[in-house]
Each structure stands twice: as C-alpha cells, then as structure tokens.
Amino acid sequence: MAMMPKRVKHRKSQRGRVRGNAARCNYVAFGEYGLQVLEPSWITARQIEAGRVAATHFLRREGKVYMRIFPHKPVSAKPLETRMGKGKGEPEFWVARVRPGQVCFEIGGVEEDIAKQALLRVAHKMPVRCRFVRRRHSL
C-alpha cells in the first residue's frame, strides 16, 4: 500500500456516501495548473500513487507535482470463501473521498502544454472524469 495515515482513531470506518460539492480545496493553490475532479468518488491509494508516478515520469524531474488528496478512509473486505457474519472484515485498502470540484493534483514550474500532457496522463489513472484547470488570479 502506497499511502495511508500513520495514526488513526479507529481502525475501520463505515462506508458513508459522498454527497455535495467541494466547498474547499476547489481551486489551484500551490502549482499553476491542476486536475479537478468532476464526480463524487473514492480514489484509492493505488490510483493516487499511479497518478503521481505517471506525472513525475512524464515530467522527468522538471517542475513540481503536488498531491492535494490523501487516502484517509479505510475500506474493509471479507476474505474469499468466507461465510457471512462473524463481524466486519479487516481493512484492505485506503481511499480518499472526493467531491466534484476537488483539485486532486497540481503541477508548477513547467509550461502549460507540458502540464496539460502530464495531467492528462494522471487523469487516465483516476476512476472519475477530471478536467484541467489553471490558477485563477482572483481579486
């Protein structure tokens, strides 16, 4: 497993639902270009890691990649060929809950077309529709 919290309050969590839109973390804050999620979803630690590897491999030590999401939520599963009952399964993997509007990856220090190509590769690793966004110079 690539990313997971170092310390947690509870080992297992209920599934819950991803409702609403991102009210924060919905703008490019660190880099100049970003990848914005357009659907509510869970993004697994493996998918985040795959995105990071895809971007850093494409950029070849140029620019900087920022990850704006972290897999805080444990997802448990029961082993194969196990009868139902006997309690909740053990945590299998970790996911980040994302809402529409969340910026999941950012890139800084490179030209726009390079950032676009890198983030397109990241978008292919994501389980949701994403769009390329630029930093907005607000008032």
Which residues contact other proteins by CB under 8 A?
1-11, 21-23, 26-27, 32, 36, 38, 49, 52-53, 56, 61-65, 91, 99-101, 108-109, 131, 133, 135-139
How far, in whole angstroms, is CA 120 from its chain's centroid?
14
Give me the least distance between CB of 83 and other proteins, in Å please. 25
Are the C-beta atoms of residues 2 and 70 closer than 8 Å to each other? no
- Comparing CB distances to other proteins, the nearer of 6 and 83 is 6
Phi and psi, residue 37, nearest 5°: -80, 140
- Comparing CB distances to other proteins, the nearer of 85 and 94 is 94
Instruction: Look at strands 90-98 and 64-67 and give their pairing.
Output: unpaired
C-alpha distances (whole Å) from 111 to each of 35, 87, 134 are 15, 52, 12
- Comparing CB distances to other proteins, the nearer of 12 and 82 is 12
Give me the least distance between CB of 75 and other proteins, in Å please. 14
**CA separation for the pair 10, 53 (Å, rounded):** 30
Give me the least distance between CB of 21 and other proteins, in Å please. 4
Give me the least distance between CB of 107 and other proteins, in Å please. 11
